[in-house]
Structure 1
Amino acid sequence: MRAALESIEKNQASIHVEVEEERVAEALEQAYRKIVKKTVVPGFRKGRVPRPILEARLGKEVLYQEALEILLEQAYREAVIETAIEPIDHPEIDVIQMEEGKPLIFNVKVEVLPEVKLGDNYKGVTAVIPEVKIGDDEVEAHLKLLQQRHARLVDAGDKAIDDGDVAVIDLETVVNGKVEQRLSGKDQIIEVGMAKFIPGFEGHLIDMKAGERKEFTLNLPSVFQYKDLEGKEAKFKVKVVAVKRKEYPDLDDEFARDVSEFSTLEELKEHLRKKLEETGQRQARRIFKERVVAKVVDDANVEIPEPLLKRQLNLEYSQFLQRLAMQRLNMDDYLRMVNKDKEALQRDLEERARRVVKTRLVLGAVAKAEGIKVTPEELAQEINDMAAQYNLDAEKLRADLEARDQIGAIEEDLLMEKVSDFLADNAVPLTEPENRQDETEAEVQDAQEGAAAEEEQGKDSGEGPSA
């Protein structure tokens, strides 16, 4: 087979392809064997009709069409490899010649990846890296979290319920004249002040004591875990079975030994400080990497192909709708909340899609320029990690991903991460300016808040208060 790249204009490649007559003859024979099995001709057993009679009865065009389907896909793939183009859309194929005893000739037009002009200094860009400072107050705050998570529930006797107490109640909820079992039950645990149940419910428990009963009515939220109950009026019948209070352990060496592998409280504090610093450093590195990539992308020039933009925009819109569904919001509610119209939302999504596409094109160009690739071992490790995360068999997961044609997407994500790391490793970090300190502290705060949760893993298995 011969494939000649004739031109690339405005990201559209034109290829001229010729397939040898021997392959055309073989494809026609395959087409005959396939069609004859499905054709019934009087006087012949099924599958035994001679080819000339089959052609006379159905017409040669039927065989030619079937042969084209056999040849075109494979020949197109070979042409892509031979001409080293990178298609991003479905090809337009124009068949010039398809005759027995002659080569198959066709032309292809297909959209390809555009040329990316990288900035002169994509290796060596400067970006601010957040400074991680862990103060004593942050260590103490995380120590308090550990203390709260290891609180015990003790009976408060005839104490009146107040914020911070835990009420054990028997609850009956009536909606539309019927007991709603999903919102009813014996010995229900309500931590007063945490607002984890129905808005306004906990306020009715304040000042109640063990053994007391109360009835009251509330409207269920307009966004609720049970969609069929949203906004409906509910009548609650409550009996307080018991009132419990939290008893916190003293922050001393014994506490350190109970919740960790350390012998003293000071050792535990030092461990927490190190975990906070490690988490903060990881977050600072992520922020730095994002800033570096943003600069490299901003410094590059590339024309965004319409097929890629449309594909990404569809993905952004689909993910946006999924997020709304998870929050039990509809489009109109969301637009009212953010004070936007549909046109403004569309512009926002399109801008995000454009940025995502440009970033991937630029990082892909860096990967080519620097010879960065994902190795089979790295891909296998990523799939093994995914399997471990979801408690799946790695081989079965890989087979499923291959069947759904998702291996390429995982490999591309790994490549983008490797290129981002490469750019960050070759960038020049700058000290945080004074006027950006508050912004940086806000950026790293979330990561630091997760350090205590990491500490809970190990000796403590994340147990909550125990009665």
Structure 2
Amino acid sequence: MNLISCEKLEKSMVELQFSIDADTFKNAVAAAFKRESKKYTVPGFRKGKAPRAMIEKMYGADIFHYDAINDLFPEAYEAAVKEANIEVVGRPDPEVVSMSEAEGATLKVKVAVKPEVTLGDYAGLNVTKKVKTVDESLVDAEIKRMQDRNGRLLTREGAAENGDTVDIDFEGFVDGVAFDGGKAEHYSLVLGSGSFIPGFEDQVVGHSAGEEFDVNVKFPEQYQAEELAGKDATFKIKLHEVKYKELPELDDDFAKDVSEYDTLDELKASIRKNIEENNQKQADQQVENDLIEQVVNGMTAEIPQAMYDARVDELVQDFQYRIAQQGLKLEQYLQYMGMDMNTFKSQFQEQAEKQVKMRLAMEAIVAKEGIEATDEEFNAEVKRIADAYKMEEDKVRSVVDEAAVKADLAVNKAIDFVKEKANITTETVEPAAESKE
């Protein structure tokens, strides 16, 4: 391979032109003929036995030239990229300029490269850290959840009330005909939960165990089963059992039963402390987000679409992996949501753009400030990964790319650098006032 030229184009695109010498190309053509000739039929010859000259005469003189180009391109392209000292971030768009066994081949490739970044201000930035005070209603709500979790279900002798749990058989009919998915036995339903069609649960309220009765409802116009949307339906109900929840008293004994604390006040103080810590974390995260946004807004870079597209693909793959853990395929998810792949990908576009810009900005700071991840930091990250995935550290080392991990760690250190150099003013805000902004 001989690099002829490397020309910078607009929007972080580069055009590489390189050649492959005649001997290398000639040998590749001969190898392509030997491998591919059996695919071609020539009258008077058994398949795969026709001379090369006859095949080329019938199918074209360059019939094996393109196979040779395909064989040679990956290695030649990689060598050209290395010699040009560019960081490719997209798929190459190749074009054959010329090819002959006498003179070799010349190729031209357009490809997106990592853009040059010009940083604005990134040290001494001003930001306000807004820390919410504890909303006491959140403390009370958590106590209520704990009380509800520790309630006892007791049998109600009288009529069912909202909040009760009922055990029912039901079968649904539209125009007197039972429909698929409309039948169940011994279904446990919490009245007032809104789990069923509007009006269904309200009509169970007031009935007692042992009763059989009808519930008349109308399916919503936008119901997911189109054949039922907007239709009137009748459900035959048999009510087996009604239970209500008896909640424990909120006192010191309750605190002792559900926690490590001796008094209800101590339990509430613990919950309040957790909320305070969470509010601090949220405020710290927002400070980080605001600082990164300032750095990104201050930088200039011609970012190629290929970088955004690559990040979108990574986010899609990550989503696909997560739902696969739940036994669901992406194709099934898209079908259930009623969207195609392009629509699904578009949902990640804004997130991808923010992440790409942030990464470029932080990498530029890493380069400018000479930030590096130490071996000790790399070892700590290996241990963290090993602990998270319950793997041996040596196994983690064998599968991770050390340079890539260190690059990620350096980016995190760049974020810390920006925060350390920032002028941060802390402001306490009331939750209600903060939500109105």
- Confirm whether residue 430 of structure 1 aligns to residue 425 of structure 2: yes
Residue number in structure 2 paired with 1:107 = 108
**2:245 aligned counterpart, secondary structure:** strand
Which residue of 1 is the match for residue 154 of structure 2? 154
Give, in angstroms, the shift of residue 329 of structure 1.
Answer: 7.9
Residue type matched to 1:429 in 2?
I
Note closer, same or farther for the CA distance 1:378–1:193 as it changes in structure 2 (3 Å cut). same
Aligned AA (1:8) = K
Q: Residues of 2 paired with 1:3 and 1:147: CA distance? A: 74
Gaps of 5+ in 1: 332-346, 389-394, 400-408, 444-467
The corresponding residue for 1:142 is 142
Deviations 1:260-310 (A, max 9, x none): 445554553343233323333332222222211111111122345455568
Q: Which amino acid aligns with 2:274?
A: K
Quick one: percent identity of the two aligned structures? 31
Deviation per residue, 1:80-117 (Å, 9 max, x gap) = 22212234444343434433354433333334343322
Letter in 2 for 1:138: L
Give, in angstroms, the shift of residue 142 of structure 1.
Answer: 1.0
Cα distance in 1, alignment partners of residues 265 and 67 from structure 2: 78
Rounded to whole Å, the distance in 2 between the matches of 1:32 and 1:385 is 54
Gaps of 5+ in 2: 320-330, 341-345
Deviation string 1:29-64 (CA, Å, 9 cap, x unpaired) is 432332245456789887677766766676551222
Paired residue secondary structure (2:14) = strand
Aligned residues, how many? 411
**Residues 200, 216 of structure 2: 8 Å contact kept:** no
- Write out aligned runs for 1:287-366 (5 A): 287-305=286-304, 358-366=357-365
Give a deviation string over 1:228-261, Cα, whole Å, max 9, x none: 4332221022333333211112234443344344
Q: Deviations over 1:106-129 (max 9, x none)?
A: 33333434332211x213422222
1:5-404 counterparts in 2 under 5 A? 5-10=5-10, 11-39=12-40, 60-100=61-101, 102-119=103-120, 121-134=121-134, 136-158=136-158, 160-180=159-179, 182-224=181-223, 226-262=225-261, 264-305=263-304, 358-370=357-369
Distance 1:108 1:52 in 2: 31
AA aligned opposite 1:78: A
What TM-score do you get using the length of structure 2 for normalisation?
A: 0.73
Deviation at 1:219, TM superposition (A): 0.8
Q: TM-score, normalised by structure 1?
A: 0.69
Name whichever structure is richer in strand by fraction: 2
Q: Partners in 2 of 1:208 and 1:153 — Cα distance?
A: 18
Distance 1:116 1:416, change over 3 A: same
* Aligned mates of 2:425, 2:366 — CA distance in 1: 25
Using the TM superposition, name which of 83-92 and 68-77 deviates more: 83-92
**How far is the alpha carbon of 1:157 from its aligned partner?**
0.9
The one-character-per-residue Cα deviations of 1:15-39 (angstroms, maximum 9, x if unpaired) are 2313344432442343233224545
Shift of 1:67: 1.0
| Contact 1:98-1:104 at 8 Å conserved across structures | yes
Deviation for aligned residue 1:146: 0.8
Q: Secondary structure at the match of 2:139?
A: helix
Note the C-alpha offset of 1:147: 0.7
Distance 1:101 1:328 in 2: 58
